[in-house]
Structure 1
Amino acid sequence: MIAGFRTRIFTPSDVLEACLDRIARYNPSINAMTTFCIDRARAEAAASTERWAAGTPCGPLDGLPIGVKDMQDVAGLPTTNGNPLMRGNIAKQDALIVARLRQAGAIVVAKTNVPEFGAGGNSVNPVWGATGNPYDPRQIAGGSSGGSAAALAASFLPLCTGSDTGGSLRLPAALCGVVGYRPSGDVVAHPTRPVGWSVISVLGPMARNMDDLLLMLRSIHGADAGDPLTVPTDPARFDDIPAADLARLRVGYSEDFGDLPIDPQVRAAFRARVQAIAPHVATCDPVDMNLGQMDRCFDILRAESFVAAFDPTGEGSKDQFGPHVATNVELGRSFTFHDRAWAHLEQTRILRTFKTRTEGYDIILLPTVPVPAFAWTQSYPPQIDGTDMDIYYRWLALTYRGSLMGGPAITLPTGAGEDGLPFGLQILGRLQGDRELLSAALALEGLFASSPATRPQIPDLDQLLPPPVDLKSPVTHPPVAPDATPDHSVQVGSAV
């Protein structure tokens, strides 16, 4: 798109109208978008069009329409977090990540759907309803950045924001066939993180390909005084990242993160991807990823953050939250100071064991989702390969275990699974090894694109089934002004 603006093949206004037309036609079937700021977006697109005509774009994203996860503030729009009590919570100013995107010239079009307060891997809530998968709207899009992932897969917008605690970027990216990047804790400043010294929750970019993701990352990375985990770094930290030399890449892999239950279909799909990669890299070896008591450690750290956010005094009422948030708060109330101390000690041991076990490897490959996509009417899979899930988020262990190390992780689309829906490959990097991970991801993206078996899929939105009768949302698509004549020749393609 930026190249099109530069060569005047089309304008930011043309692209915005094409996006709005596509959203109006297809969003009712998947419900990825929630609230809109169309008039402001049109005015900003018109101003961007004038800047490009004059050869004076204001930044690297000038004129690009974006979506913002409905847990991040956009001035003038509600930040509901999917909670009925927050319907009227109109943001007075942009969140830092949004402010940086807008400063780079991006145009916010809409908010994207989430589970209530981001709790869970299924983007359904009592305010906006459920988000369906663009490949089959009867199936989940994932969460908590499910609306962002679905909007990208449906080509509603070229870029969207996300966040990740236990897999909220990676899981929906895998299910919807897009790219989701969880950076190291020092990369994207997160000054609204409730527990400011914890590396569990991070913000990150989502896109349909690596070039778009890197374009967005260059505008949002950087330190902020409100986030103690960030420190000033080179502004060009993510400029000019080359694709890694596959022939020199040292790859480790684990199909179950040590001991997790994995659906046989997922194991087979993952093994096929490893076999496709192995002939092209220097080494491709299994690695023991049973690093410690990862699940109990995450339980305590996650519950700690939920108590900090929703029950800091110990006197809050669980009635104002949905069952997932209430479960986390109740779990937090059950832990002691000694439990918390143990969890922080164990997280440190896990990080050090990970460093030792992965010595000699540049990246570690894993599946992202342990089961094929399931119906969005189901909150979570109660059982995986014969193992019962003891809490609603246990099925996210493939991603939340990776969160414990504090390092970068990314999910790349790699064709389809046996069910015909996208299959996402998760890649872990070394702590603060973000640039190296992104370089490896660029190389692997190129490798996957060279084969029909692993090439990213594109959903056929014209074949979408009608939305289920109970997929309801007060706002499912924006009105398109009667005098607007969308240019159907404009393709909502790559941001670059």
Structure 2
Amino acid sequence: MTIESTLCEMSAVALRGEIAAGRLSAREVVSAHLARIDAWNPHVNAVVTLDAEGAMAAAAQADERQAGGHALGLLHGLPIVHKDSFLTAGMRTTYGSPLYRDFVPERDSLIVSRERAAGAITLGKTNLPEFGAGSQTFNKVFGATRNPYDLRLTAGGSSGGAAAALATGMAPLADGTDMGGSLRNPASFCNVVGLRPSPGRVPQWPTASPYNTLTVAGPMARTVADVALLLAATAGSDARDPLAIEQDPARFLDSLERDFHGVRIAYAPTWGGLPTEPAVEQALALRLPVFADLGAHVELACPDFAGADAAFQALRGQTFAVGYEAALRENRHLLKDTVIWNVELGLQQAAAAVVQAERDRAALFARMHAFMQTYEFMIGPVSQVLPFPVEQETVSRIGDAAMQNYIDWMRSGYYLSLTGHPAISVPCGFTAEGLPVGIQIVGRYRQEHALLQLAHAFEQATQYWRRAPALPN
């Protein structure tokens, strides 16, 4: 086994320990991951902007700081890739849109500046659908990102480039965003971990919609412990985000070990009747004994998601209108049809639709809160479908059920976005054809640490994260 393959298969936590102990240098780690990008990226198209020279220079600086006896940041020497919707000073940020094909910002998004301040080393940017719209990663600027477990299929989205980069060992850490499932769906499709934190847990700046609670930023990695490490480095209050949660992010460095005896878990195999592919349900059902072995009590139960569909579509449309009305007005010909549809929905919907959406969301949160007093966690599918052909822009039907729009097949993701509860996708197994399936675990309101503990226990019991894709010949 080569040094490159060894380093690229190590977790971020393990790499951090080896670097801190002086057994590995940041230069060795970054060099190995750059070599992995050279080998894998032509097959999957996950990293769309690469700065190898800048990464090696930053690694050399990191090694010099360590040699000089300076305190090491949480992410010291660890390579990271940023979603191409986050600003990166001096590095192209396209949002997957022809409008921004050559845009080079002068500042970092807050999450990027926090990652860099913690010692992470930027390798480059990861692919996403245009403006992050949809759970299939393709755009006119860079093309599509392919699933490393089957190159004929999609890696999911909208943080699809991040998930594919992690799965192939091109980076141990990645960031992303999630409105309707964009940190969770690609994690499920690519056998990695994606956490949708509570709104405000990872502050967002700059943003056109600072009071928008549907869209969150969050961490992705191959293990739950690595996700917790990245969350600890990126969470914490910031006065520029009015939703920022003022709690010490160091709590996410606390132990992930916990006794789950007697804990009640609600199992919702279809989230209350959503059309779901049988292979997805089967993969989850096979893993239910894991929770029983942990001592937990798993019961079939699901909160009432009545009104969630109309509420999410109305509020999503409003957010798209706030963010992209000017782009639609001035450059309609450069926008994909689904972005146009979403913006126009926001601009043209009746005020009564938004009013009702807020009423329905309030009622849903109240029902969810009551439900979660009985159950500490919920489990169910991340995505209602398996990875599908990369040429297919969206899912038009699941079984006999026709989908009404381009994100209708992601209700298993956006139902939970609407409630604001933290949710995580963890590898749950593979189909007979070798396709990954993730399990979605939902925690109580703002209880990310407990959520990470259950996710960690499940991961340790199953070890599916270790099953890496094979590099094509």
Common fold: TM-score over 0.5 = yes
Q: Residue type matched to 1:460 in 2?
A: A
Out of 53, 65, 72, the residue aligned to residue 67 of structure 2 is: 53
**Does the 8 A contact of 1:123 with 1:140 survive in 2?**
yes
Gaps of 5+ in 1: 466-496
CA distance in 1, matches of 2:271, 2:98: 37
1:359-404 per-position Cα deviation (integer Å, ceiling 9, x unaligned): 2211100111111111110011211021000101001110011100
**Does the 8 A contact of 1:251 with 1:281 survive in 2?**
no
Residue 239 of structure 1 corresponds to 253
**1:316, distance to aligned residue in structure 2 (A):** 5.3
Q: Residue type matched to 2:353 in 1?
A: D
* SS in structure 1 at match of 2:91: coil
1:16-41 per-position Cα deviation (integer Å, ceiling 9, x unaligned): 11111111111100000011222221
Out of 119, 123, 131, the residue aligned to residue 133 of structure 2 is: 119
Does residue 135 (structure 1) correspond to residue 149 (structure 2)? The answer is yes
* SS in structure 2 at match of 1:356: helix
**Does the 8 A contact of 1:134 with 1:154 survive in 2?**
yes
**Does the 8 A contact of 1:244 with 1:442 survive in 2?**
no
Residue 290 of structure 1 corresponds to 304
Residue 11 of structure 2 corresponds to none
**1:189, distance to aligned residue in structure 2 (A):** 0.3
Residue 278 of structure 2 corresponds to 264
Gaps of 5+ in 2: 1-14
**Does the 8 A contact of 1:132 with 1:141 survive in 2?**
yes
Does residue 40 (structure 1) correspond to residue 50 (structure 2)? The answer is no
The residue correspondences of 1:114-193 to structure 2 (distance < 5 A) are 114-193=128-207
Runs of 4+, deviation exceeding 4 Å: 312-317
**Does the 8 A contact of 1:415 with 1:456 survive in 2?**
no
Out of 102, 105, 125, the residue aligned to residue 91 of structure 1 is: 105
Length, aligned pairs only: 459
CA distance in 2, matches of 1:84, 1:177: 30
* SS in structure 2 at match of 1:100: helix
Out of 374, 381, 385, the residue aligned to residue 371 of structure 1 is: 385
* SS in structure 2 at match of 1:281: coil
CA distance in 2, matches of 1:314, 1:431: 36
Q: Residue type matched to 2:279 in 1?
A: Q
Residue 490 of structure 1 corresponds to none
Does residue 277 (structure 1) correspond to residue 291 (structure 2)? The answer is yes
**Does the 8 A contact of 1:245 with 1:443 survive in 2?**
no
The structure with the greater share of residues assigned to helix is 2
* SS in structure 1 at match of 2:199: coil
Residue 367 of structure 2 corresponds to 353
Does residue 199 (structure 1) correspond to residue 209 (structure 2)? The answer is no
Does residue 405 (structure 1) correspond to residue 419 (structure 2)? The answer is yes
Does residue 344 (structure 1) correspond to residue 358 (structure 2)? The answer is yes
Residue 17 of structure 1 corresponds to 31
CA distance in 2, matches of 1:370, 1:260: 8
Residue 458 of structure 2 corresponds to 444
CA distance in 2, matches of 1:295, 1:424: 23
Question: Given the two structures, how large is their TM-score scaled by the length of structure 2?
Answer: 0.94
Question: Given the two structures, how large is their TM-score scaled by the length of structure 1?
Answer: 0.89
- Which structure has more relative contact order (CA 8 Å, sep 6+)? It is 1
CA distance in 2, matches of 1:438, 1:76: 34
**Does the 8 A contact of 1:410 with 1:426 survive in 2?**
yes
**1:74, distance to aligned residue in structure 2 (A):** 0.7
1:231-250 per-position Cα deviation (integer Å, ceiling 9, x unaligned): 43224232313322132322
Q: Residue type matched to 2:469 in 1?
A: P
Same amino acid, percent of matched pairs: 37
**1:314, distance to aligned residue in structure 2 (A):** 8.6
**Does the 8 A contact of 2:191 with 2:465 survive in 1?**
no
Q: Residue type matched to 2:217 in 1?
A: L
Residue 30 of structure 1 corresponds to 44
Name the CA shift for 1:433/1:7 in 2 (closer, same or farther; >3 Å): closer
**Does the 8 A contact of 1:287 with 1:358 survive in 2?**
no
CA distance in 1, matches of 2:404, 2:266: 29
Residue 460 of structure 1 corresponds to 470
Does residue 307 (structure 1) correspond to residue 321 (structure 2)? The answer is yes
* SS in structure 2 at match of 1:274: helix
CA distance in 2, matches of 1:279, 1:152: 29
CA distance in 1, matches of 2:203, 2:35: 34
Out of 98, 109, 113, the residue aligned to residue 123 of structure 2 is: 109
